[in-house]
Amino acid sequence: MLRQFLLAVVIVGEAAGVALGQSPAPAGSDAVSAWRQASDAPSRTASPPTVRGDDAGISDRYNPSAAHDGSGVFSLPNEGGQVWREYDISPYTARVTTTKRPEQAIIDWVLRETGYEAWHSEPLGVLSANSRTLRVYHTPEMQRVVADLVNRFVNSEAATYTFSLRLITLDSPSWRVPSQRLLRPVPVQTPGVNAWLLAKEDAALLLGELRRRGDYREHSSPYLVVNNGQATLVSTMRGRPYIRDVIPRADVPNGFDASPGQVDEGFHLDFSPLLSVDRRMIDATIKFEIDQVEKMVPVLVDVPTPTMPRQRTKLDSPQMTHYRFHERFRWPTDQVLLLGMGMVALPIPVDGQPLVPGFPLPLGNSPARADLLLLVECKGQMTVVDNASPTRSPLRQAKNYRGRY
């Protein structure tokens, strides 16, 4: 009787729930359990939906801080007074044919001038470019910096200005003794590196004195020129093969295969200059890297076989040295910048002479070192090739010297 009474109560409650628009509860013993759980559950209030982690940033439907213009359309925050500007860079990109994306040089220089963090922190900033337009969303102060850089690129009179790079090594830094009177030091951040400015006439005298030395070597073309605003890479990297490991194999007579490897040695010189609007000053970033294999350290490993249980073979472990330099300089166009890198690794044989067979490095207990100098000079406005005027010489482009000097 008690069981029938409880069942009747549940049925009556279910009917009442249906009348109120609620979903019917399960029948039978499950109905009693569901009824008890519903009675014991605490009351809940409706909570607003939340955006899942994978949807964050995609939709602003549930983002109360999203900025709108009153019509439901999202707008960029401008708590820092940011403004939107579009700059026409087509006069510059139309002139540059040596790269597929010449506008990237403008982006790079904006980031160098303003700092990368200015576009990834508060206030919100936007920097984007295609082959015709540079789009910037930032504060008015930042817009003035960007406008000045854009003017330096689109200035047609600076388009044909070119630069000469001379990379020189000497066995000793004693060249400074007779030439110290010509050098005017400028600040430099990298330890062990010196920088000087010289008048072009004094630079010519210095170069003449250096060429009379028996240890003078020049490693880049003296006629190497660089277009204004574009980065240029000079490289003399070359591969050095070595045996890095052994692979056991039962189907070969000696029971193993040698696993060859290769390391690259040489130098990279990355030069990116930009003239001021009045063409009186040069801003340039210089990145220089050297990788040198000092020697191959031998490692004898056991590779026994049934017929040769004591067989051994030699592996190589490269002992390398690396040199890195990356700085930005600003100097007048009528002067020459001279960088003294110090006694750094020399990744090429002295005077380019072939090495003794079987020895990949020059004879001696210490690796090759030399005092490395870099002269940077603005060569002025070069004549652009004109088919109608055969007397004009074409503009020489910078080249990539791989293994050649």
pLDDT in tens, 213-272: 999 998 876 666 677 788 888 888 889 999 999 998 888 888 899 999 999 998 999 999
Run of H or E residues at 149: helix 140-154
List Cβ neighbours of 87 (8 Å cut-off, separation of 6 or more). Answer: 133, 134, 135, 136, 146, 147, 150
Q: Which residue has the tokens 């010489």?
A: 393
How far apart are the C-alpha atoms of 278 and 203, rounded to whole Å?
24
| pLDDT on residue 96 | 82
- H-run or E-run covering 19: helix 2-19
Residue 197 scores a pLDDT above 70: yes
Q: What are the beta bridge partners of residue 169?
A: 217, 372
Amino acid at 363: L
Instruction: Dump pLDDT digits (tens) for 50-59.
Output: 333 343 333 3
**Mean pLDDT of the 183-208 span:** 95
Q: Whole-angstrom Cα distance, residue 179 to residue 206?
A: 7
Angle among Cα 197, 201, 207 to the nearest 5 degrees reads 80
How many helices and strands, by DSSP H and E, does the chain display?
Answer: 7, 14
Percent of the chain residues topping a pLDDT of 90: 45
Residue 200: pLDDT over 70 = yes
For residue 281, the surrounding DSSP H or E stretch is: strand 281-302
Write the burial class of residue 387 (CB in 10 Å: 0-12 exposed, 13-18 middle, 19+ buried).
exposed
Angle between helices 29-40 and 2-19 (to 10 degrees): 60
CA proximity to 284, closest of 325, 329, 333: 329
For residue 28, what pLDDT band results from cuts at 50, 70 and 90?
A: very low
Q: Where is pLDDT greater, at 396 or 218?
A: 218
| pLDDT exceeds cutoff 70 at 36 | no
Domains observed in the chain: 75-154 (3.30.1370), 161-356+366-381 (no CATH)
Residue 281 pLDDT more than 80?
A: yes
* Residue with more model confidence, 48 or 5: 5
Q: What is the pLDDT at residue 243?
A: 94
Whole-prediction pTM value? 0.69
Residue 271 contacts residue 339 (beta carbons within 8 Å): no
Which of 317, 405, 396 lies closest to 353, judged by CA?
A: 405
Q: Is 78 strand, coil or helix?
A: coil
pLDDT one-digit tens code per residue, 94-151: 888 778 898 999 999 999 999 999 999 999 999 999 999 999 999 999 999 999 999 9
What does the pLDDT look like over 283-338, one tens digit per residue?
A: 999 999 999 998 899 999 998 888 888 999 999 999 999 999 999 999 999 999 99
Residue 372 exposure: Cα atoms within 13 Å on the Cβ side: 22
Between the alpha carbon of residue 226 and those of residues 176, 214, 275, 399, the distances in Å are 28, 30, 12, 9
More confident: 119 or 388: 119
351 pLDDT tier (thresholds 50, 70, 90): very low
C-alpha closest to that of 159 among 94, 114, 63, 100: 94
How much is the pLDDT for 379? 85
Q: 377 forms bridges with which residues in the sheet?
A: 164
Crossing angle for the helix pair 140-154 and 103-114, to the nearest 10 degrees: 140
